[in-house]
Chain A
Amino acid sequence: MTETKVIKLHTPLKEQEIRKLNSGDLVELTGTIFLARDRVHKSLTEKIDEKFQAKLKNGVIYHCGPIAKKENGKWKILSAGPTTSTRMEEFEETMMEEYGIKAVIGKGGMKEKTLNALQNFGAVYLLAVGGTAALLAEKIVKVKNVFFLEEFGIPEALWEFEVKDFPLIVSMDSKGRSLHKEVLEESEKKLKEIA
């Protein structure tokens, strides 16, 4: 196993702590996270919802559609890895501005609009390793709530989880550095050389 320094984060997140994070840092997050993907983002940004403004303040969004099972009236999460974040590019700035989101978890990274918003609102993008859904589900200690379940179905509902030591990589920071942008530029340069 690789031994590297891991930074511990707890919710509610503090902006000054988030602003210290650098792309490439390894992070473990403990506290509450909210699962939101395509339809929740569309819904919450079309009409600003006061109830969720209070809930999501200084909070964390996770781009994920889990596999969930109800046992004796209680939800259990079996598998919960990240989905592709770029589909939420249009909405994330509003989520930071209107709902006070301080960290976005997903895979694949996001684009310029979100990178700017991370700087403006003191937030960070955290990469979870795509496909590692059984490993990540082990870090979910409790399902606290689920909203929009009837309307959107299990994979697209807004789930509220309590997690412990959720393993993540900072891949876009609040200082304007994006590992995704760097890798894209380097690979495009290399492509020009060989194509």
Chain B
Amino acid sequence: MKEKIDLIQALVELYRLTSVCLPKDVKQKIKEIREKETSILAKKVMESIEQNLEIAEKKNLPLCEDTGIPIFFIEIPKSFDQNEIKERILKATETATEKNFLRPNAVDSLTQKNSGTGVGKGIPTIYFEQKERTGIKFNLILKGGGSENIGRTYSLPNPELKAGRDLDGVRKCVLDAAVKAQGLGCPPTIVSLVVGGTKDVISFESKKQLLEKLGEKTEGKEKEVIEFEEKLLQEINSLGIGPMGLKGKNTVMGVKAKFLHRHPASFFVEVSFMCWADRRHSLIWKNGEAEYD
């Protein structure tokens, strides 16, 4: 889909699309899970989820009332001014909030006052990365508060979990996080795991990793990491927590893992979760034309 459009309008449309429609790969996975579940309650949950997706698209409404925190990962060529782009994003956030595609989710943590506009200090979250490319690519995630709240950071070794500084230690952290999360972050969730040496970097990378499609083969990913992801997917699902935590075969839709370098003294494990309402879409804006995915 290509059309001549002002950037602010194009960003509002990106917000609408992301709030109303799930990406194809997630819809497909939800359908597969609905077919696999056998208990009355798990089936009921998955059926409600599918019905909800249809209603939201048909009526052009946010599929979940918690439109979360918008997180932008922007791939930008050298020739663009980042501050100008940022200003347009803030304006688009306000407009999308006025149009009710976003709920006003920015609360001042000192005064507890909701800004009412969807914009606040640190909200939306915007990351730029300079790239050799034509046109700007805006990758957007709407990350719900419930799934954000169940994310955890571990420091290894962790005697309580009997988790050492190796792959098995990392595995124990992820399983612990999944058991502690139970039905709270709206399972079946997506787990994004990053291991490394500084807390800010692994936290950032675990969010960015959520841009990867389910089942997507990431270029250059080590064979043992892919096997580790598959093993974790099976093991978390074997816990039986199930859709919305009411027992079932599917607690996670996918597991993504990434291993970075670390300081010899530090070994941090970041476990982020994304709810089944895995809202991510992208906009490529080039010569005043918009293309959405």
Contact = CB atoms under 8 A, between A and B. Distances in A.
A83 B146 contact: yes
A191 B177 CA distance: 11
B248 to A, nearest CB: 9
Contacts of B40: 2, 4, 24
Contacts of A131: 49, 52, 63-64, 144, 186, 275-277
Contact of B55 (A86, A134, A171): A134
A133 B63 contact: yes
A186 interface: yes
Contacts of A194: 175, 235, 238
Nearest to A182: B247
Interface string B139-172: 0000011100100000000000110000000001
Interface in B81-134: 100, 103-105, 107, 112-114, 116
A176 interface: no
A138 B55 contact: yes
A195 B62 CA distance: 39
A120 interface: no
Interface string A51-83: 000000000000011110100000000111101
Nearest to B181: A108
A187 B161 CA distance: 15
Q: Contact residue range for chain B? A: 35 or more
A187 B239 CA distance: 5
A157 B184 CA distance: 22
Contacts of B112: 39
Interface in B232-263: 235, 238-242, 244-247
Contacts of A24: 40-41
B227 to A, nearest CB: 17
A127 B161 CA distance: 31
A135 B62 CA distance: 10
A158 B199 CA distance: 38
A1 to B, nearest CB: 6
Nearest to A184: B182
Given A2-B44, A187-B179, A191-B175, A81 B66 contact: yes
Contacts of B277: 131
B62 A133 contact: yes
A122 interface: no
Interface of B: 40-41, 43-45, 47-49, 51-52, 55-56, 59, 61-67, 100, 103-105, 107, 112-114, 116, 144-146, 149, 161-162, 172, 175-176, 179, 182-184, 186, 235, 238-242, 244-247, 275-277
Given A153-B116, A183-B247, 17 more contacts: A2-B47, A67-B103, A78-B100, A79-B61, A81-B64, A84-B184, A107-B184, A108-B182, A129-B52, A131-B49, A131-B52, A131-B277, A180-B183, A182-B247, A184-B179, A190-B239, A195-B176
12 contacts: A2-B43, A79-B56, A79-B65, A81-B64, A86-B184, A130-B64, A134-B52, A137-B61, A138-B55, A155-B104, A183-B240, A195-B175
Interface of A: 1-2, 4, 24, 26, 39, 64-67, 69, 78-81, 83-84, 86, 107-109, 127, 129-135, 137-138, 152-156, 167, 169, 171, 179-180, 182-184, 186-188, 190-191, 194-195
